[in-house]
Amino acid sequence: MKLEEIAKQFRIDKPGKFRLADCDPAECCGLSIDKDDAKAMLKEGVERLAALQEKLYAHNKWSVLIIFQAMDAAGKDSVIKYVMSGVNPQGVQVHSFKVPSEEELDHDFLWRIAKALPERGRIGIFNRSHYEEVLTVRVHPEYLARQRLPEVVSGKNIWQHRFDDIRGFERHLARNGTLVLKFFLNVSLEEQRKRFLERIDEPAKRWKFSMGDVAERKLWPEYMAAYEDLIRETSRDEAPWYVVPADKKWFTRLVVAAAVAQAMEGLDLAYPKVEGKALAKLQLARTALEAEG
């Protein structure tokens, strides 16, 4: 089975029927390869993305927004590092959204997101995103209190209202030439535990570990319920979610690379044609340069 066909399996096209419990974090779709084969396949995917990114930049009509959401240690950073390793850095912008600043809290929840959107011809990558507002904020009600919202808009319907706003926001982006792709890296609780232990054991990775990570594990059921809800509410044709198994990093990277490449190829990107007077000027330039030789 081709990687593109595998990637399609993880796209949520029927969100109303989506159940996170049906998704196996260790799934590999029967793909059994060694480390060298995985590297070779990823290299092909990276080269394919690099070629598409060059066309995207030259075409200068579309932009691409790639959103990554996941529990800690699911591999967001490594996916970004390896999948985008061959793409021209001038054409990619990565934003990692942390705890909102006081300035950001004084605006609506999409304000800081809108400021970071990629311009035409470029790929924007969000490491976490506006989905934290219907995820972490939902699991931790005290975070919502810090946003100082009027009581009339912060009642029991706030999550549904935010889902409405997000769908409208992403539909607006799609209608204005932004390809929106969203990836939930689905790691298991046990695999997260193993990766946390690796961070503690390896000196070069200890800086990544926080005691808060252990506390968040106790809220795993609440997070999974919130993820299931947001995927059901916001996976649409113009901005689909991919729920990608994340227990095996090599498989996660292959699926993400294939899904992004496949979606970008659907944009029918092309280098601008040089013809007419512009082509005639190029011929004159050629003649002049050859004469110098």
115-151 core/surface letters (b: 16 or more CB in 10 A; e: else): eebbeebbbbbbbbbbbbbbbbbbeeeebeeebeeee
DSSP state of 81: H
Q: For residue 281, give the CATH number of its domain.
A: 3.40.50.300
Which residues, other chains included, contact 3 with Cβ-Cβ below 8 Å and sequence gap of 6+?
Answer: 41, 45, 254, 255, 257, 258
In angstroms, the Cα distances linking 289 to 276, 277, 280, 282, 292 are 20, 18, 14, 10, 5
Q: Look at the chain and report how many structural domains it folds into.
A: 1
What are 180's strand-pairing partners? 65
Q: Mean pLDDT across the stretch 4-23?
A: 96
* Rounded Cα gap, residues 86 and 88, in angstroms: 7
Beta 123-127 vs 63-70: how paired, if at all? parallel
Q: Give the burial class of 105: count Cβ atoms within 10 A of its Cβ; 0-12 exposed, 13-18 middle, 19 or more buried.
A: middle
Q: Quick check: 210 pLDDT over 90?
A: no
Q: Quick check: 258 pLDDT over 90?
A: yes
Q: Which of 263, 232, 286 is nearest to 16 (CA)?
A: 232
Q: Which carries the bigger pLDDT value, residue 210 or residue 232? A: 232
Q: Are 80 and 125 in contact (CB under 8 A)?
A: yes
What are 95's strand-pairing partners? 126
Q: Which residue has the tokens 């209190």?
A: 145
pLDDT in tens, 220-231: 999 999 999 999
Cα-Cα end-to-end distance for the chain: 53
pLDDT in tens, 140-197: 999 999 999 998 888 889 999 999 999 999 999 999 999 999 999 999 999 999 999 9
pTM: 0.94
**What residues make up the domain containing 283?**
3-292
What confidence category does residue 205 fall into, taking pLDDT thresholds of 50, 70 and 90? confident
